[in-house]
Amino acid sequence: MKIQVKEVQNKKDLDAFVKFPMNLYKNNPYYVPPIINDEKQSMSKEHNPVFKDAEAKFFLAYQADKIVGRIAAIINWKEVKEQGKSKMRFGWFDTIDDIEVTKALLAEVEKIGRENKLEYIEGPVGFSNLDKAGLLTMGFDKLATMVGLYNESYYADHYEQLGFETANEWVEYALPAPQVLPEKVIKFNKIIQERYKLSELKFTKTKELLPYVDEMFDLLDKTYSSLDTYVPIADYQIKHYKEKYIPFINPDFVNIIVDENNKMVAFAITMPSYSKALQKANGKLFPFGWWHLLQANKKNDSAAFYLIGIDPKYQGKGVTALIFKAMYETFKRNEIKYLETNPELVENESIQVLWKAYDPVNHKRRKTFRRAL
């Protein structure tokens, strides 16, 4: 059956673009839908400042007037011009199990890449590092998190059949929240604190946290700048994410370690798991979606890691033990029993060392795929 690919041109098209995976995975118990209005705003030049450095086009694939796939074609010019990566990005990729649909969608992205004289295509990724990335390749029977993409196994099969190669790979872990810290861990923490004159900051109100947000993003740059996938975060993006997300973060789930000059050396942001609440909300905050999210924030036995940063100067010096002890105390106060990490590049051992002593189970993997243009 003939496949037609059309560019998103209006609000009706954009609505269909955002809702397509919600229809595709309607009966899938592991898919977690986003908030529809948040998705639309992320694709809007008016609301998302990333478009100062990036451009994007969005496409829908049709068979007999029925939507069967979607894709976003993205160029991050900051990445291309400042980092010298001649990359054509693609993201927001979803399709039925028909390789011809995948082929038709990717052809639109590749066309734009060639027109801009770029060297290769890679995805699924977002506009920047702060967006979801990586096709799920293991863990199809595990509940998705709000920071990870969900897809069926045939997506990766399509890419491999079309000659794509693995670009980057991430791992995710599930682990029980430790209920007791061993005495030797407590002693080791004390030694590290005294050796490097470090201390933990605690927060009860968002306004107490706000003065540290810029420093968190600066530490993110230091932590991840050596990784192949990293694109520096612009000041206007920091401002945007600060305004959009920080008011919704529970300050008790933010752990910061500082030196004797009150300079941040490590931080971790975790959140109560919103996966089940987002499933109940089904893409809408009103009339009852906000209530489900509020309840998940107040009473929850599961938590998900969101962002972690450790100054490279302190990596390998035991500071990971301090940040984990701080998180342990947070989880204990909030009666958290189950933890899930965010996607971590397989080579990012400085972060993965956080969980090694706590019986982590690698329950999900994901990849981005690339092909020369």
Q: What is the DSSP string of 139-185?
A: -TTS---TTS----THHHHHHHHTT-EEEEEEEEEEEEPPSS--HHH
Contact in structure between 147 and 306 (CB atoms under 8 Å): yes
Percent of the chain with pLDDT over 70: 99
Same structural domain for residues 166 and 193? no
Report the CATH number that the domain containing residue 358 is assigned in CATH.
Answer: 3.40.630.30
11 and 97 co-located in one domain:
yes
Nearest-angstrom CA–CA distance, 301 and 312? 32
Tell me the per-residue pLDDT of 66-85, one tens digit each, with 9 for 90 and over.
999 999 999 999 999 988 99
Among 145, 172, 199, where does a domain finish?
172
Tokens for 171, please give them.
Answer: 């791992």
CB 325 within 8 Å of CB 185: yes
245 and 207, same structural domain?
A: yes
Asked if 190 and 328 sit in the same domain, the reply is: yes
Nearest residue to 33 via CA among 144, 153, 134: 144
SS3 category, 2: coil
Indicate if the pLDDT at residue 353 is higher than 80: no
Q: With 80 as the cut, is the pLDDT of residue 36 above it?
A: yes
**For residue 97, how many other CB atoms are within 10 A of its CB?**
13
Q: Which two tokens stand for residue 57?
A: 């086009």
Q: Is the peptide bond before 124 cis (omega within 30 degrees of 0)?
A: yes
Mean pLDDT value across residues 28-36: 97
Contact 35, 109 (CB under 8 A): no
- What is the percent of the chain with per-residue pLDDT over 90, rounded to a whole number? 72
> Does residue 372 belong to any structural domain of this protein?
no
Measured CA to CA, the distance from residue 206 to residue 218 in angstroms comes to 19
The C-alpha atoms of residue 16 and residue 70 are separated, in whole angstroms, by 9
User: pLDDT-based confidence at 159, cuts 50/70/90?
Assistant: very high
Rounded Cα–Cα distance for residues 256 and 201 (Å): 5
Do both 166 and 264 map to the same domain? Answer: no
DSSP 8-state symbol, 261: T
With a cut of 80, say whether residue 231 has pLDDT above it. Answer: no
Beta bridge partners of 174: 340, 361
Return the pLDDT at 264: 96
Residues 216-225: tens digit of each pLDDT: 989 988 887 7
Q: 6 forms bridges with which residues in the sheet?
A: 60
Q: Residue 59 in contact with residue 103, Cβ under 8 Å? A: no
Is 338 contained in some domain? yes
In tens, the pLDDT along 239-293 reads: 877 877 787 788 999 999 999 999 999 999 999 999 999 999 999 999 999 999 9
Same domain flag for 156 and 201: no
The whole domain housing 26 covers: 3-172
Residue 11 CB burial class (10 angstroms; 0-12, 13-18, ≥19): exposed
Q: Which of 140, 172, 204 marks a domain boundary?
A: 172
Assigned token pair, 232: 């520096």
> For the chain, where are the alpha helices, taking DSSP H only?
11-24, 36-42, 77-82, 99-115, 154-161, 183-196, 206-209, 213-224, 235-245, 275-281, 289-298, 319-333, 349-352
Q: Would the pLDDT of 93 be above 80?
A: yes
pLDDT digits (tens, 9 = 90+) for 178-205: 888 878 888 889 999 999 999 999 999 9
Both 301 and 168 in one domain: the answer is no
In the 8-state DSSP scheme, what is residue 229?
A: T
Is 330 found in the same domain as 346? yes
Q: pTM of this prediction? A: 0.92
Predicted pLDDT of residue 22: 97
Same domain, 222 and 139: no
Residues 189, 270 within the same domain:
yes
Q: Which of 356, 147, 372 is nearest to 271 (CA)?
A: 147
Judgement on whether residues 241 and 139 belong to the same structural domain of the protein: no
Residues 236, 127: contact at Cβ < 8 Å?
no
Amino acid 43: pLDDT: 95
Total number of domains in the chain: 2
